[in-house]
Each structure stands twice: as C-alpha cells, then as structure tokens.
DNA sequence: CATTTATTCAACCATTTGGTTGACAACGGC
DNA sequence: GCCGTTGTCAACCAAATGGTTGAATAAATG
C-alpha cells in the first residue's frame, strides 16, 4: 500500500466490490454481515474490504453489541474531487489557451479580451 | 486488473508517480523521456506507468518521429467525478433527512443550520 | 549503411492483493 | 455458565503490481 491518504482512497475505490459497498452505505449504515450477504465470497473477505475502506477513511465502524455497523464518511470524497478538479481544470484552461493561440494564428484575433489568460494557477 | 473502466481509472490514480505524471501532463504534453527524467526509476518503468494511464483512457499517445508525446485526456475524469458525486450527494441527503428527523424529535421544527452535524458520528 | 535516440517488449523478481479456511474474541439469550 | 451469532485475526495461496535488466523496433543522422 502506497501509504498516503489519496493513494489509499483511490486504491480502495479501484475494486468494484468496494465501490458497491460504498454505494450501499450511501443509502444507509449496515453491519458487516448485512454487507456481506449479497456476495458469494466469505464474510472474512468482506471484512477485509471494509478494513481497506476504513484505512482509507471512507468508512467508520461503530459498535452495537457484537455488531459493528459501518458508516460512510463522505467528507473524504472531497479529497479526491479536489485533486481531480484541479488537474481537469488546469488541462481545460490549457486547451482554451491553445484555442486562443490557434485562433490568433488564423488571423482571427480578439486582442481586447484578456479573460482567456487566467494564469496557470498552481 | 479488474477490467471495467472505472476500476482502471481509480487504480491508475492510486499510484503517486502516476498522479504526478497526470499533474505534469495537465500543464502540457510531454514525451516519455521527458516524463521519466525527474524520477530515479528506469525509463521502462515510466513507460509502464504511462501504459497503465493509457489503458485507463487517461492518456493518449501521438507520434513525432521516434517520440511518442503523451496527452492528457481530461474527459475521463468526468467518469470518476460523476461516480463520486452521486454517492457523496446521496449520503449527504441522507444526513440531512436524519438531521430533520432528529430536529423534529427535539420539537425543533426549524433547524438553524441545515448542514449535517458532525457530532453524532461515531 | 552504421549509429544514436526514443520507446517498447520480454523475462524475471519481490511485494501486495484478494481470496480461502480455521481459530478466537465478544456479546446476548437462554 | 454454555450456546449461537457477529466479526476479526492468522496463515496460507494464486494472481497482479511495480520494479529491474537486456534485447528489439523505429526513425533521424552521420
């Protein structure tokens, strides 16, 4: 495991079973047994999946007698969303600047419109 | 490799080196050699990383003589963003409904703060 | 044509991952 | 106090991952 949180979150969601578990926890909290029920793998395997999600900070577990209800921690999603948005937007701005350059090369210039050059914001 | 695209995209971004490569491609296209230069791993290792990103649809490669310039395909990010947003929002709405119920139980019909309250989480 | 440059392919190795089974701990209900 | 239930821990295994080195391909350059 690559040890930083963002890596753990991405890695956790790289497995369809785990994404499925997240999807179901978005609807409501559930115990390990309830989560394991739909799959034909062992409860232990699902327990491991939940551990991976918990280590990534995506899920927390409470206690109710011998049960350990799982709860989705949706805030961690922001970590990913921010990372993604940052580079998506950065790439998009680059395309816009490229478009502007190409337009200018065509003699199709708009010299009085500086709004396209929003600095590459790091 | 878990074979569906979403899994491949998440898995691709679970590695810090690959996220770094994406970050640099967001600034501008680059050849494999240029991308490999900052790291002290072999060029072959970086070539493999790029293959993983390409298989996920995050990167495409063109040809310029013997060079193969890499280009970030930012649209694929939307796939992730949509998945994430869907369940983040779903969970958020659930908390809001829960808050509403709790408020009603307290006889507190107009909660001043409609946001989810952290305190209740385990 | 031979060489250098840029990249990938192939084989190999260590580590991680996702699964298994078996044992064990913690708790509620007789 | 002894079962059944719920979940985790431990050991193990096959497959995937990320790295290595060495050879092969492809294209510009002398």
Q: Which residue is associated with the tokens 């649209």? A: B75
Give B27-81 as a DSSP string.
H--B-HHHHHTTSSS-HHHHHHHHHHHHHTTSEEE--BTTB--EEE-TTHHHHHH
Quote the CA–CA distance of A59 and A64 in Å, as a whole number: 16
Contact A81, B81 (CB under 8 A): yes
Distance B65 CA to C8 C1' (A): 15
Contact A14, B5 (CB under 8 A): no
List pLDDT tens digits, range B5-62. Answer: 999 999 999 999 999 999 999 999 999 999 999 999 999 999 999 999 999 999 999 9
CB nearest to A15's CB, from B2, B78, B83: B2
The answer to whether B19 contacts A83, with C-beta atoms less than 8 Å apart, is: yes
Distance B122 CA to C12 C1' (A): 48
Q: Measured between beta carbons, which residues in chain A are less than 8 angstroms from residue B81?
A: 81, 84-85, 88
Quote the CA–CA distance of A97 and B26 in Å, as a whole number: 13
Distance B45 CA to C11 C1' (A): 15
Query: Which H or E run includes A59?
Result: strand A59-61
The answer to whether A14 contacts B19, with C-beta atoms less than 8 Å apart, is: no
Q: Does B22 touch chain A (CB under 8 A)?
A: yes
Quote the CA–CA distance of A25 and B36 in Å, as a whole number: 40
Q: Which residue is associated with the tokens 């950065």? A: A90
Q: How sure is the predictor about B81, in pLDDT bands with cuts at 50, 70 and 90?
A: very high
Residues 24-83 of chain A whose Cβ lies under 8 A from any Cβ of chain B: 25-28, 60-62, 71-74, 77-78, 80-81, 83
Nearest alpha-carbon partner for A67 in A87, A80, A50: A50
Nearest alpha-carbon partner for B47 in B56, B57, B35, B58: B35
Contact B111, B102 (CB under 8 A): no
Tokens of B110: 């107009």
Query: Residue B106's pLDDT is what?
Result: 73
Nearest alpha-carbon partner for A19 in B9, B17, B121: B9
Q: Measured between beta carbons, which residues in chain B are less than 8 angstroms from residue A74?
A: 87-88, 91-92, 95
Tokens of A85: 């948005």
Give A65-85 as a DSSP string.
TTB--EEE-TTHHHHHHHHHH
Quote the CA–CA distance of A89 and B22 in Å, as a whole number: 12
At residue A71, φ and ψ (nearest 5 deg) are -135, 135
* Cβ of residue A61 lies below 7 Å from strand D: yes
**For every one of its 122 residues, what pLDDT tens digit does chain A have, with 9 covering 90 and above?**
678 999 999 999 999 999 999 999 999 999 999 999 999 999 999 999 999 999 999 999 999 999 999 999 999 999 999 999 999 988 888 877 777 777 777 766 555 544 444 433 33
Quote the CA–CA distance of A15 and A34 in Å, as a whole number: 19
> pTM of this prediction?
0.84
* Cβ of residue B32 lies below 7 Å from strand C: yes
Residue B120 pLDDT exceeds 90: no
Quote the CA–CA distance of B6 and A13 in Å, as a whole number: 9
Q: How many residues appear in chain B?
A: 122
């Amino acid at each position: 495991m690559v040890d930083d949180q963002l890596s753990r979150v991405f890695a956790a969601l790289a497995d369809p079973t785990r994404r499925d578990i997240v999807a179901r926890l978005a609807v409501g909290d559930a115990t390990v047994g309830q989560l394991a029920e739909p799959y034909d793998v062992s409860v232990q395997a699902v327990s491991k999946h939940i551990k991976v999600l918990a280590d990534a900070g995506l899920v927390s577990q409470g206690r109710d007698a011998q049960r350990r209800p799982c709860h989705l921690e949706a805030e961690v999603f922001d970590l990913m969303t921010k990372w993604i948005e940052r580079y998506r937007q950065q790439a998009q701005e680059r395309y816009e600047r490229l478009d502007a350059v190409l337009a200018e090369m065509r003699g199709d210039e708009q010299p009085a419109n500086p709004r396209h050059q929003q600095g590459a914001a790091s």
